[in-house]
Chains A and B, each alone.
Chain A
């Protein structure tokens, strides 16, 4: 039963139509890892995330989360979608949204005092405690994104999946977000999708490059050559202070 890996993908193939989106994906994510999924638009990043959540099923191959199939492990995963697919005019308060992370505990969906406390703690953690009385429609893009992170945290997850947490966020807010995520990483595994490589800097321990195939690099390995491979063109790269992953090199 003891499984050291939180996430294991074995020979996974996936396609929406007959064009393959993901081919022969083999991937393991260790407990406590902080990984970023990068790749150009349409490379299958979000698809990979949806496969991990069990919202999509692989054509062939096997996906295990905490040693079980994704649907059975869902309640242990916190997921932050891109807010762009939500209706920003929807009449809900910030607290209403965060509390959604506590659903699934009772049949009718009543919230207990404890649920409210957990929601407040999640808002504290994401530095939005003073905004709990406000409404989702009044918030800025960055605040909405953080509310959705708080909602994911409210699930008390062991694995946090974030889909493009940096879109529409100012650089300085991004910096604050790094710090928050870094702290969260002490108690949970984090996997985020990002198409800006800037995010893959000081905090991320390993980088999962997706472009139909999946290759994992420790952060230290990222250089112009690899970026060219992923994005298929020359790109300007700004070097950050790189750290070596403890996970080491995982592709062969």
Chain B
């Protein structure tokens, strides 16, 4: 731990400070959007979006190296594919008559496969592990700006429309009856989820996105009973997981993404176990029905 703080203070370790500040700032979006994902029960959709991001990254690399669009950074490809995936998934889940999960599962795999095929077609060798498992130490200054912008959008949106989104997440049918475009709000929410997922891919990688999106919110949900309390606690927990994960991974030279996830996962399991034991010890008196 002391080693990590010393490393942070070392002027040569610019990358480490950058990684820490990005992961702490990104926690704001992760916590807020994660709370929506958990309460609305759409973590499966978030998973599908994250795998579609790989398709976008592959396509961007292909366009960059093979077609010669030099400006086509894989990040752009990731953002575009995430948004497209979010809109398709949103429309499917709003309008598909049935078997929504099958369609989304197919999209999940096809997104991944498309990414791999694009990389096959692109000359040169790419290390795709940083996309799959994340590498927070590769984060650049432009990522920092991306994080700040996303935080601002997410915070403004969820503060301004708090009551509306709460109603849409709790009971979209009723919200529609109050003249709210539930469908439009749902799609916007999925698009914000998509942007958050792109950022998560940078931090923990495609494969582990769902974990960092849902675990902080799930733990927060054990202790809170109102949506904004849950968001605030989820943001805080996400910061703790990211910070602790980074410190541990630096100290023991482990990969940062998996370390963060393991820290979060162990916390979640401990909390579940403790609340279970606590509940058994303090079994509630039956609530009177009135």
Whether the pair A91, B224 counts as a contact (CB closer than 8 A) is yes
Counting chain B CB atoms within 10 Å of each CB, the highest count among A53, A81, A96 belongs to A96
Counting chain B CB atoms within 10 Å of each CB, the highest count among A96, A103, A108, A140 belongs to A103
Closest A residue by C-beta to B41: A87
The contact string, 1 if C-beta is below 8 Å from chain A, for chain B 83-104, is 0000000000000000000000
Contacts of A111 in B (CB 8 A): 163
Known: A109-B163, A143-B290. A103 touches B229 (CB 8 A): no
Whether the pair A55, B225 counts as a contact (CB closer than 8 A) is no
Which of the residues B167, B225, B289, B290 comes within 8 Å of A103, measured between beta carbons? B167
- Could you tell me which residues of chain A, from 159 to 194, have a CB within 8 Å of some CB in chain B? 170, 173
Which of the residues B166, B169, B180, B287 comes within 8 Å of A138, measured between beta carbons? B287
Answer whether residue B221 sits at the interface, using C-beta atoms and an 8 A cutoff.
yes
Whether the pair B177, A53 counts as a contact (CB closer than 8 A) is yes
Whether the pair A135, B177 counts as a contact (CB closer than 8 A) is no
Answer whether residue B64 sits at the interface, using C-beta atoms and an 8 A cutoff.
no
Complexed CA–CA distance, A135 and B225 (Å): 7
Whether the pair A151, B174 counts as a contact (CB closer than 8 A) is yes
Give the number of residues in A that approach B within 8 Å (Cβ atoms): 35
Answer whether residue B176 sits at the interface, using C-beta atoms and an 8 A cutoff.
yes
Complexed CA–CA distance, A173 and B287 (Å): 15
Whether the pair B164, A103 counts as a contact (CB closer than 8 A) is yes
Which of the residues A96, A103, A137, A142 comes within 8 Å of B175, measured between beta carbons? A103
Known: A90-B39, A93-B225, A135-B225. A100 touches B170 (CB 8 A): yes
Answer whether residue B161 sits at the interface, using C-beta atoms and an 8 A cutoff.
yes
Contacts of A87 in B (CB 8 A): 39, 41, 170
- Could you tell me which residues of chain A, from 139 to 158, have a CB within 8 Å of some CB in chain B? 140, 142-143, 151, 155
Whether the pair A91, B226 counts as a contact (CB closer than 8 A) is yes
Answer whether residue B10 sits at the interface, using C-beta atoms and an 8 A cutoff.
no
Known: A91-B39, A100-B170. A142 touches B178 (CB 8 A): no
Of A27-35, A71-79, A218-226, the stretch lying at the interface with chain B is A71-79
Q: Report the minimal beta-carbon distance from B154 to chain A, rounded to whole angstroms.
A: 16
Q: Report the minimal beta-carbon distance from A7 to chain B, rounded to whole angstroms.
A: 16
Whether the pair B226, A79 counts as a contact (CB closer than 8 A) is no
How many A-B residue pairs have C-beta atoms within 8 angstroms? Tell me.
92
Contacts of B178 in A (CB 8 A): 74-75, 100-101, 103-104, 155
Complexed CA–CA distance, A171 and B160 (Å): 43
Q: Report the minimal beta-carbon distance from A164 to chain B, rounded to whole angstroms.
A: 15
Answer whether residue A92 sits at the interface, using C-beta atoms and an 8 A cutoff.
yes
Whether the pair A173, B226 counts as a contact (CB closer than 8 A) is no
Q: Report the minimal beta-carbon distance from A146 to chain B, rounded to whole angstroms.
A: 10
Complexed CA–CA distance, A91 and B220 (Å): 11
Whether the pair A97, B170 counts as a contact (CB closer than 8 A) is yes
Complexed CA–CA distance, A97 and B166 (Å): 9
Whether the pair A104, B173 counts as a contact (CB closer than 8 A) is no
Contacts of B160 in A (CB 8 A): 108
Answer whether residue B60 sits at the interface, using C-beta atoms and an 8 A cutoff.
no
Known: A91-B224, A140-B289, A142-B289. A100 touches B177 (CB 8 A): no
Q: Report the minimal beta-carbon distance from A162 to chain B, rounded to whole angstroms.
A: 13
Whether the pair B175, A75 counts as a contact (CB closer than 8 A) is no
Q: Report the minimal beta-carbon distance from B227 to chain A, rounded to whole angstroms.
A: 5
Closest B residue by C-beta to A50: B173
- Could you tell me which residues of chain A, from 98 to 124, have a CB within 8 Å of some CB in chain B? 99-101, 103-104, 108-111
Which of the residues B171, B221, B287, B290 comes within 8 Å of A100, measured between beta carbons? B171
Complexed CA–CA distance, A87 and B160 (Å): 24
Contacts of A236 in B (CB 8 A): none
The contact string, 1 if C-beta is below 8 Å from chain B, for chain A 56-93, is 00000000000000000011010101000011011111
**Which residues on B are within 8 Å of A, measured CB to CB?**
39, 41, 160-164, 166-167, 169-171, 173-180, 221, 224-227, 229-230, 287, 289-290
| Besides the known contacts A81-B173, A100-B178, A103-B179, 18 further A-B residue pairs in the complex with CB atoms under 8 A apart | A81-B171, A90-B39, A90-B169, A92-B170, A92-B227, A93-B226, A96-B166, A100-B163, A100-B166, A100-B167, A101-B178, A103-B164, A108-B160, A108-B164, A109-B161, A109-B164, A140-B290, A143-B289
Q: What would be 13 A-B contacts, judged by CB atoms less than 8 Å apart?
A: A55-B173, A74-B177, A86-B171, A91-B227, A92-B226, A93-B225, A108-B161, A108-B163, A109-B161, A109-B163, A109-B164, A109-B180, A170-B289
